[in-house]
Amino acid sequence: MTASNNASPVQTVQSSSADKWWKKSVVYQVYPQSFQDSNNDGIGDLQGLRSRLDYIQNLGADVIWLNPIYKSPLVDNGYDISDYKSINPIYGTLDDFKALLADAHARGIRIVMDLVVNHTSSQHEWFIESCKSKDNPYSDYYIWKDPKPDGSAPNDWGSTFGGPAWDYVPERGQYYLHCFAKEQPDLNWENEEVRQAVYDQMRFWLDMGVDGFRMDVISLISKRMEFPDNNGQYAYAKSYYAGCSNGPRLHEFLHEMNEQVLSHYDTITVGETPNTTSKQALLFTAPEREELDMIFQFEHMHLDYGKYGKFSTNRVALHDLKENLSKWQIDLKDGWNSLYWDNHDQPRAVSRFGNDGKYRKESAKMLGMLLHGMKGTPYVFQGEELGMKNVAFESLDDYQDIETKFVIEDMRSKGESEEEIEACIHAASRDNARTPMPWNGEGPYFGFSKAKPWINVNPDSTHINVEESLEDPDSVFYFYKKLIELRKTLPVLVDGNYELLDADNPDVFSYKRTNGNQELTVICSFADHEVPVPFQTDGKIILSNYQEHSDTLSPYEARMILSEK
């Protein structure tokens, strides 16, 4: 398919399916609202991002994933779309987007958009029409059910952002399903017209030159149409999983989407798939099934969960992390992994898995090496490459995120102390990831904007920022840059088999990648003190977060060792 003149596609030499370009790519995730404000209204925008493409190119990432920039009332920061074919004016215009795409392509950087099609905004015209009656052209676009005889909701599911997953509309005398906020009604994928409408908007962006999609909660699109009660399963928040995740027609729908749309373009696709196992992952990603290229799994994100799901202060046990990540490395066989620590829904990795005090830089680099040494496509979330840490906003009232607000209320209603609530929110709020990108150390807004940003800045930006990182040859940024460069030059990083080493070591996560005559060993210490080097390895240290190496590993030391036989 052709792209428009102002956004000619990135040229690639496409050979066998074993040589897909996205297997060598590193994706940089941009949260547009918080990346760079160009017109000083406190909100990041497309022209702002466009002016920062040099920075992303310098890092070496070759794909940008943009969180939703479509028209939206922003109840869930853009994951509630009211028009799939227009840009939210706070970010700019369609022409701004085309200019961004053209500039990115000219640098060999592809752009992936967020496809949010499990649900729309309640302000989408499809939903406004659908609410009006049981017999208009959009009546069947959403999931409507009659009340139970006593007038109550059709089943006992709760929504992610609080309250029941059903809302009553008097005009229809029926309830509609919303797995997320009530302003995010779920689309009815059983309806062929809905699927065609989704494919049509996908073609709209692909024809413009967009290079693929990150598909929001795509594992939820096929519902079990009997809508079973969940009877307390998945107690916290995600009670609809039993009826919505990995449903009966999911793979049929994705195959159809591939056949009718994706297979006609040269794309990268990644499905966000809550509640999906590594075995199920193969159904999405095995190439012969012609569905998606890779998925975002959640299991490693759940290892530190507590009573309130992710809102816990638990620390992950290294043993569990090794077991889980290794399982995904091995089980995916001819499928493909996406590799991530951070995104707009997660707290900052260095605070969560590393040490954001004395060893912030060391542990941020160690985490980078652990992930980028694995098999799959790595994703870097804006600021991760600076070793940005969590932020504790002064007051709970400063939090903006709908999920965070719900959890604060929920924990209060269950009688938790304010101290406990603060600890959980500080540790896990999505707003940790959403603070403005710090471009320099000058407050109050650190180069992001001249106006007060839509969300509070991270006060650590005085010393954790882009300018400082670019001036310091020893920064986390340059370490990430090196990791990305290695992926482009070392075939073993792309294709090598994975083997966990020294599984029982309580402090060190080590593994080996092997490909032909190349052997790459990665040794990562999670200890904040010295520990012995776990085993001897032939070869040369090609990357490390310390200059000097001995028989002991320094705190959070990481070594990547290459041997060619």
The interface mask with ligand GLC, positions 266-285, x = CB under 6 A, is ------x-------------
Kindly state whether residue 341 participates in binding ligand GLC, applying the rule CB under 6 A: no
Kindly state whether residue 37 participates in binding ligand GLC, applying the rule CB under 6 A: no
CB of 371 to ligand GLC, least distance (A): 19
| Among ligand GLC, Ca ion, none, partner that 76 touches (CB below 5 to 8 angstroms by kind) | ligand GLC
Size of the site for ligand GLC (CB under 6 A): 9
CB of 497 to ligand GLC, least distance (A): 31
Kindly state whether residue 76 participates in binding ligand GLC, applying the rule CB under 6 A: yes
Question: How many CA atoms, within 13 angstroms, populate the side-chain half-sphere of residue 373?
Answer: 32
Q: Which helix (H) or strand (E) holds 214?
A: strand 212-215
Q: Which helix (H) or strand (E) holds 410?
A: helix 402-413
- Cβ distance to ligand GLC smaller for residue 65 or 477: 65
Which residues neighbour 345 within 8 Å (Cβ) at sequence distance 6 or greater?
430, 433
Kindly state whether residue 39 participates in binding Ca ion, applying the rule CB under 5 A: yes
Which two tokens mark 277?
Answer: 């196992």
Kindly state whether residue 468 participates in binding ligand GLC, applying the rule CB under 6 A: no
Nearest Cα to 98, choosing from 3, 194, 202?
Answer: 3
Per annotation, catalytic residue among 45, 96, 272, 403: 272
Burial class, 403, CB count within 10 angstroms (exposed 0-12 / middle 13-18 / buried 19+): buried
CB of 272 to ligand GLC, least distance (A): 6
Active site residue 95: no
Separation between Cα atoms, residue 5 and residue 9, nearest integer Å = 9
Determine phi and psi for 513, rounding to 5 degrees: -115, 135
Size of the site for Ca ion (CB under 5 A): 5
Kindly state whether residue 51 participates in binding Ca ion, applying the rule CB under 5 A: no
Separation between Cα atoms, residue 267 and residue 292, nearest integer Å = 10
Separation between Cα atoms, residue 371 and residue 390, nearest integer Å = 20
Does residue 480 contact residue 367 with C-beta atoms inside 8 Å? no
- Cβ distance to Ca ion smaller for residue 69 or 301: 69
Q: What are the angstrom distances between the C-alpha of 214 and each of 62, 292, 435?
A: 15, 10, 22
Kindly state whether residue 186 participates in binding ligand GLC, applying the rule CB under 6 A: no
CB of 183 to ligand GLC, least distance (A): 11
Kindly state whether residue 320 participates in binding ligand GLC, applying the rule CB under 6 A: no
Name the DSSP class of 453: P
Question: How many CA atoms, within 13 angstroms, populate the side-chain half-sphere of residue 74?
Answer: 14
CB of 61 to Ca ion, least distance (A): 23
Per annotation, catalytic residue among 76, 96, 216, 557: 216
Separation between Cα atoms, residue 306 and residue 313, nearest integer Å = 8
Kindly state whether residue 75 participates in binding Ca ion, applying the rule CB under 5 A: no
- Cβ distance to Ca ion smaller for residue 48 or 185: 48
- Cβ distance to ligand GLC smaller for residue 344 or 389: 344
Does residue 73 contact residue 82 with C-beta atoms inside 8 Å? yes
DSSP assignment of 411-444: HHHTT--HHHHHHHHHHH-THHHHSPP--SS-TT
Kindly state whether residue 96 participates in binding Ca ion, applying the rule CB under 5 A: no
Bridge partners (DSSP) of residue 112 are 65
Does residue 91 contact residue 34 with C-beta atoms inside 8 Å? no
Active site residue 37: no
- Cβ distance to ligand GLC smaller for residue 238 or 559: 238
Largest CA distance in the chain: 75
CB of 244 to ligand GLC, least distance (A): 12
CB of 213 to Ca ion, least distance (A): 25
- Cβ distance to ligand GLC smaller for residue 167 or 460: 167
Kindly state whether residue 345 participates in binding ligand GLC, applying the rule CB under 6 A: yes
- Cβ distance to ligand GLC smaller for residue 117 or 202: 117
Which residues neighbour 195 within 8 Å (Cβ) at sequence distance 6 or greater?
189, 253, 256, 257
| Among ligand GLC, Ca ion, none, partner that 216 touches (CB below 5 to 8 angstroms by kind) | ligand GLC
| Among ligand GLC, Ca ion, none, partner that 45 touches (CB below 5 to 8 angstroms by kind) | Ca ion
Burial class, 279, CB count within 10 angstroms (exposed 0-12 / middle 13-18 / buried 19+): exposed
Kindly state whether residue 37 participates in binding Ca ion, applying the rule CB under 5 A: yes
Does residue 219 contact residue 276 with C-beta atoms inside 8 Å? yes
Q: Which of 216, 356, 431, 460 lies at the binding interface for ligand GLC (CB under 6 A)? A: 216
| Among ligand GLC, Ca ion, none, partner that 43 touches (CB below 5 to 8 angstroms by kind) | Ca ion
Kindly state whether residue 183 participates in binding ligand GLC, applying the rule CB under 6 A: no
- Cβ distance to Ca ion smaller for residue 449 or 545: 449
| Residue type present at position 357 | G
Determine phi and psi for 325, rounding to 5 degrees: -65, -35
Which residues neighbour 481 within 8 Å (Cβ) at sequence distance 6 or greater?
58, 59, 60, 385
CB of 220 to ligand GLC, least distance (A): 9
Kindly state whether residue 401 participates in binding ligand GLC, applying the rule CB under 6 A: no
Q: Which helix (H) or strand (E) holds 518?
A: strand 518-525
| Residue type present at position 307 | K
Kindly state whether residue 43 participates in binding Ca ion, applying the rule CB under 5 A: yes
């990346």: which residue's tokens?
A: 35
| Among Ca ion, ligand GLC, none, partner that 37 touches (CB below 5 to 8 angstroms by kind) | Ca ion
CB of 318 to ligand GLC, least distance (A): 27
Q: Which of 180, 253, 379, 454 lies at the binding interface for ligand GLC (CB under 6 A)? A: 180
- Cβ distance to ligand GLC smaller for residue 161 or 328: 161
- Cβ distance to ligand GLC smaller for residue 404 or 475: 404
Provide the binding-site residues for Ca ion, judged by CB under 5 A: 37, 39, 41, 43, 45
Residues that bind ligand GLC (CB under 6 A): 76, 79, 116, 180, 216-217, 272, 344-345
Catalytic residue positions, numbered: 216, 272
